[in-house]
Structure 1
Amino acid sequence: MYPGKWAAAQPDKPAVIMADTGQTLSYAQLEERSLRLANHFRSLGLKPGDHVAMIAENRMEIIEAYWAALRSGTFITIVNRHLTVPESSYIIHDCDAAVVLISAVLDTAEALNEDCRDIPHRISVGGTLPGAEEYEAVLAASSAVKPDYEPRGDDMLYSSGTTGKPKGILPALKDQPLEDENIPLIQLFTALYGFDDSSVYLSPAPLYHAAPIRFVMTTHARGGTAVIMPKFDPEEALRLIEKHGVTHSQWVPTMFIRMLKLPAEVQAKYDVSSMRAAIHAAAPCPIEVKRGMIEWWGPVIHEYYAATEANGITVINSEEALAKPGSVGRDGLMGIAHICGPDGEELPTGEIGTIYFELEEGREPFVYYKDDAKTTGTRHPQHERWTTTGDLGYLDEDRYLFMSERKSFLIITGGVNIYPQEIENELALHPDVKDVAVIGEPDEELGEIVVAYLQVEDHVRPSPEFAEEVRQWLSDKLARFKIPREFRFIDEMPRTPTGKLVKRKLTEVPQATA
């Protein structure tokens, strides 16, 4: 369940391969380097429950630092490298980091290093920064002797901040040794998707996000190899699947859409038959997109609905997805789902309400770090062990969950509820639309109107004529009241690299109304 086990059994096997450079990190190297860094944390006086932070592009040192935290009993917060200096600094300080590791390669590195000069210990990765210790020098000077007892730490990741300031999600830290195999997520992913020592996991997403780093952890716990892309590219992803014989991967729907829009000859050029489980999450997937991926890759497409808070999960495989199009799966593997109304009353089958998960015995509810008010807002008014992240949905007669929309994204126009995701799913399938977001904007007469923001393909010229073409294209797909009143064109959608729309930033992006 930890690198040392596999370092002894298969020391030279690659634990990590960087897709762009081919650089590898063997299990023996991962074991020694993560141990040295963990020992450095201990030498600085860090104790179980203390915090470290890291900000970097996708690189091996993130994985080394993650395992160092896991084997020193500390929490690690991996920060989104795309944030501004004030945004990054806020998270690093908010998590009470005693140590911060900063990639010197980042454009923001020098400014962030200066802004974090009050952090007790700073370490520069991949270069030098004033006043910071160099990563390789730290490892060289640290002990490689394994302590008698290594308490297991955890990650404390931050929500993406799509609807406000990011929130630190503090898991309950148990006093358990690193070698303990009773890790629910690892056991769950292994059972669902068949991770073992033959697994080759492709990560096309940023490692600061919960799913990619936790799937890498699962891969290493089972002795497999993780192939890390510096950033997603649709054809490059297909090439890597063929080159490395990838068996497992994790995606977001926008990646599927971009791969499906590749020319047929490009899709057919690469052998993807090694794939055993292509897992997607993070955002709802349009039904036609999922069907297209199943037709192309076969019944290896799996979806789960969960949150960084890890308060519950639903899962669905390819066969179920074809039988229950649009569903994100069934509950029961990590808590029971309940659909509740505004006063907490449980709603009948088919009615839309807030999704709560009832924790199974032995698990503690998550808390938001240093924010009791936000934590309280996630609890059911009558059931302390029922928690929510604010999503809406409904259960059908077979207990399959269908997502609707976050309350904050719901559009109410003329007293009618409109769920933007339904409109976005249709617009995403237009051949000349590269990306889309739909929001409600104030209107004196109707309260709100539906507004669509479009990022078009490179060969398309934004214009009122194109907007009208899209409007007509929607006319036989959506009810008239759901069709956007306005279309606005933007150069790039404000998404996190994990695929989540940051809708609060849409109105800040330069645009041309059509």
Structure 2
Amino acid sequence: MNWLDSLMDEPFVCITDMLRRFAKTRGEHAALICGDEVLTYAALDARVERFAAALQRDGIQPRDAIALCASASVDYVVAFLGGLRAGAAVAPLAPASSAASLVGMIGNSAARLLFLDADVKRLLDPVAADIGATPVALDGHAGSVALDAWLAPQGTAPTPVTIDPAWPFNIIYSSGTTGTPKGIVQSHGMRWAYAVRSVQRGYGPDAITLISTPLYSNTTLVSFMPTLTFGGTVVLMPKFETTRYLELAQRHRVTHTMLVPVQYQRLMAHAEFDRYDLSSFQAKFCTSAPFAASLKADIVRRWPGRLTEYYGMTEGGGSCQLEADQWPDKLHSVGRPMEGHDIRLIDERGNEVPLGEVGEVVGHSPAMMTGYYRQPDKTAEAEWYDPSGKRFIRTGDMGRFDADGFLTLLDRKKDMIISGGFNVYPSDLEGELRQHPEVADAAVVGAHSQQWGETPVAFVVLRAHARISAAGLLEWVNTRVGKMQRLSALTFLDSLPRSPIGKVLKRELREQFYPVSR
């Protein structure tokens, strides 16, 4: 049995203890690559030590929070891991958030230190008086203490901290696209359990993982953390661009990656995709947004390595996975519940629905959030208990199980359109629109209707050199759907508004084009 196999029986190991181990056993191996910058395990561990020692010097105690808000960089990783080594809860915040939203998240986390970059500093300057956290500049910009000056001196070691697996590992804030962001607390024990399960996906000392999604997102962390936990190499790409991504994948002989659907879509549409050597890939993953069956099929056909789609929430609860290359007839689904995950469907009254009927997805698993940070009422709203008292997390997604146990998602509960008393699922209409050869992307929302209460309207992005008119496409799709599904309007856009992680911001579409729709 090798050392990796022996770890599978460990109930808990702190991830930063693994980093210290690799600093001693494979110190010259590349841990991080970002552009021309390469940090070995020995160098990364030494910098993490200095960071943790500086936190302790500034009075940060175990389970206190620190906040990170910056683009991906080597020093962002140092700050994240240094916080963990000191026992702090790390709150990674989205730089694309509004200043008011960031003030709210920093206040909710009670972070005393905020590690940021120049772009975030400019955003927060007008509200600096409302932020209680002391800023430290990861990129050394003027106006804040620079990281190199803030770090403890070379060779300084922090006072050892024994991490309890129940302690908070991170506080990840929900996108806030439907309201005030909520802090989702995940524990050290949960992160270790997830890392151990990832070994079966090939994460280990030979893994080379290309990261091009934001480091504040759970989507990224589920691929990033297992790579470093088991001694692999992370190639950081601070800003996604298709040609650059393909060049990095080929140059570094990348084995693993996590991408969101819109990134896969752009890569597969790249004119020279097929000329790049991607034969080193072992596993590709996708999550966070609807993943079209036709796109999955194209990836399986043209991109080496397994393709796995994950469905789940940052909050935890149940997750599904679809091994796309193994189930070509199930690409319309998000797969079956993962081992040890209990996923059920419930109706408006909280009762389970029979097989084949539509219900809200609720899930229970070993990887569940502790709760929303300092928001017990919001935590209670997100929970459902079965008659035995077993705790589940509500997803807000509507879905249906087939006879083989595969889950097909219909839509977010809040996005479902009720037209003339009938439930209309936007995803059905979006899928139909994408069948047209001149359509690149589509989103459907509900608009107010005097006659029907709500009516579906569409926003469409056309492919280059498309010739069809909006009226022509509207007529085309309405001949292919049921009477109550027919679109009442269709608008062409250059692009759909998306979050940094690739989710279509339907609220923006409603507010911009149909402000009285909700």
Q: Distance in 2 between matches of 1:329 and 1:210?
A: 20
Q: Which residue of 1 aligns with 2:287?
A: 281
| Equivalent in the alignment of 2:471 | 468
Following superposition, the deviation at residue 76 of structure 1 comes to: 0.8
Cα contact 1:49–1:173 (8 A) shared by 2 = no
1:175-219 Cα offsets, whole Å, 9 max, x none, are xxxxxx98111012222x110111110112111111213321110
Q: Percent identity?
A: 28
Partner of 2:30: 14
- Of 131, 140, 144, which residue of structure 2 is paired with 1:127? 140
The one-letter code matched in structure 1 to 2:29 is: K
Partner Cα distance (2:478, 2:54) in 1: 62
**Following TM superposition, by how much is the alpha carbon of 1:367 offset from its aligned partner in structure 2, in angstroms?**
0.9
Alignment-mate amino acid for residue 300 of structure 1: R
Q: CA deviation at 1:358?
A: 2.6
Secondary structure of residue in 2 paired with 1:145: coil
* Distance (Å, rounded) in 2 between the aligned partners of 1:387 and 1:23: 41
Task: Tell me the CA shift for residue 70 of structure 1.
Answer: 1.6
- SS of aligned partner of 1:157: strand
Provide the C-alpha distance between the structure 1 equivalents of 2:72 and 2:118, rounded to a whole number of angstroms: 13
Q: Output the CA distance in 1 between the equivalents of 2:320 and 2:230.
A: 23
Q: Tell me, in whole angstroms, the C-alpha distance in 1 between the residues paired with 2:413 and 2:440.
A: 26
Shift of 1:491: 4.2
**In the TM superposition, what whole-angstrom CA distance separates every residue of 1:237-296 from its partner, at most 9, and x where no partner exists?**
222211111100011111122222223xx1221011111111001112111111111111
> Which residues of 2 match residues 160-309 of structure 1 at below 5 A?
160-172=175-187, 183-191=192-200, 193-263=201-271, 266-298=272-304, 300-309=306-315
Q: Do 2:419 and 2:453's aligned partners in 1 also have CA atoms closer than 8 Å?
A: yes
Q: Equivalent residue of 2:348, what SS?
A: coil
Give the partner amino acid of 2:199: T
SS of equivalent residue, structure 2 residue 173: coil
Determine the C-alpha separation between the residues in 1 that align with 2:138 and 2:161: 28
Is the CA contact (8 Å cut-off) linking 2:321 and 2:336 kept in structure 1? yes
* Structure 2 residue 408 is matched with structure 1 residue 387: no
d(CA) in 2 for partners of 1:149 and 1:399? Answer: 44
Report if the CA contact (8 A) 1:490-1:509 is conserved: no
Q: 1:416 aligns with which of 395, 404, 422?
A: 422
Give the match's secondary structure for 1:241: helix
Distance 1:151 1:204 in 2: 30
Q: Which residue of 2 aligns with 1:151?
A: 163
* CA separation of 1:508 and 1:440: change in aligned 2, threshold 3 A: closer
Partner of 1:274, secondary structure, is coil
Contact 2:317 2:368 in 1 (8 A): no
Contact 2:259 2:285 in 1 (8 A): yes
CA contact (8 A) 2:70 2:76 kept: yes
Residue number in structure 2 paired with 1:4: 20
For 2:284 and 2:368, the matched residues in 1 are separated by 30
Q: 2:328 aligns with which of 318, 322, 339?
A: 322
Q: Confirm or deny: 8 A CA contact 1:247 1:276 kept in the other structure.
A: yes
1:346 aligns with 2:352: yes
For residues 80-132 of structure 1, give each alpha carbon's deviation from its aligned partner in whole angstroms, at most 9, with x where no partner exists: 1111211222211121111111112447355167245532x3211212343x3
In structure 2, what is the Cα distance between the partners aligned to 1:290 and 1:270? 19
Provide closer, same or farther for how the CA distance between residues 141 and 104 of structure 1 changes in structure 2, counting only shifts above 3 A. Answer: farther
Q: Alignment length, in residue pairs?
A: 493
Shift of 1:507: 3.4
Contact persistence 1:455–1:490 (CA under 8 A): yes
The residue aligned with 1:178 is none
Residues 240, 173 of structure 1: alpha-carbon distance in 2 compared, 3 angstrom cutoff: closer
SS at match of 1:97: coil
TM-score when scaled to structure 2?
A: 0.88
Question: In 2, are the aligned partners of 1:411 and 1:439 still within 8 Å (CA)?
Answer: yes
User: After TM superposition, where is structure 1 displaced by more than 6 Å over at least 4 residues in a row?
Assistant: none
Alpha carbons of structure 1 residues 113 and 242: separation in structure 2 relative to 1, 3 Å: farther
Aligned partners of 1:171 and 1:366 also within 8 Å:
yes
Render the CA deviation track for 1:446-492: whole Å, top value 9, x for unaligned.
1111111234456569xxx6212322443565435434221223444
Amino acid corresponding to residue 145 of structure 2 in structure 1: E
For residues 340 and 507 of structure 1, the distance between their equivalents in structure 2, rounded to whole angstroms, comes to 28
Per the alignment, in what secondary structure is the counterpart of residue 327 of structure 1? coil
Q: Counterparts of 1:459 and 1:281 in 2: how far apart (Å)? A: 30
| Aligned counterparts of 1:417 and 1:117: Cα–Cα separation in 2 | 44
Residue of structure 2 equivalent to 1:497:
500
In structure 2, what is the Cα distance between the partners aligned to 1:445 and 1:291? 40
CA distance in 2, matches of 1:429, 1:258: 17
Distance 1:116 1:35, change over 3 A: farther
Structure 2: distance between partners of 1:237 and 1:366: 36
- Establish whether residue 87 from structure 1 lines up as the match of residue 90 from structure 2: no
Deviation string for 1:341-373 (max 9, x for gaps)? Answer: 11221111111111111345xx76531112222
Counterparts of 1:330 and 1:221, CA distance in 2:
27
Name the CA distance, whole Å, in 1 between partners of 2:121 and 2:439.
31
Q: Which runs of 5 or more structure 1 residues have no equivalent in the other structure?
A: 175-180
1:44-68 per-position Cα deviation (integer Å, ceiling 9, x unaligned): 2222211110110121222111111
TM-score for the superposition, normalised by structure 1: 0.89
Name whichever of 430-439 and 411-420 sits farther off: 430-439
Aligned-partner residue type, residue 179 of structure 2: G
Contact 2:300–2:325 (CA<8 Å) still a contact in 1? no
Does the 8 Å CA contact 1:162/1:504 hold for their aligned counterparts?
A: yes
Question: Which residue number corresponds to residue 76 of structure 2?
Answer: 62
Aligned to 1:312: 318
The 1-side partners of 2:297 and 2:128 are apart by 49
Matched residue SS, 2:250: helix
Give the match for residue 139 of structure 1: 151
AA aligned to 1:351 is E
2:39 pairs with one of 18, 22, 25: 25
| 8 Å Cα contact 1:189/1:195 also seen in 2 | yes
SS in 2 for 1:345: coil
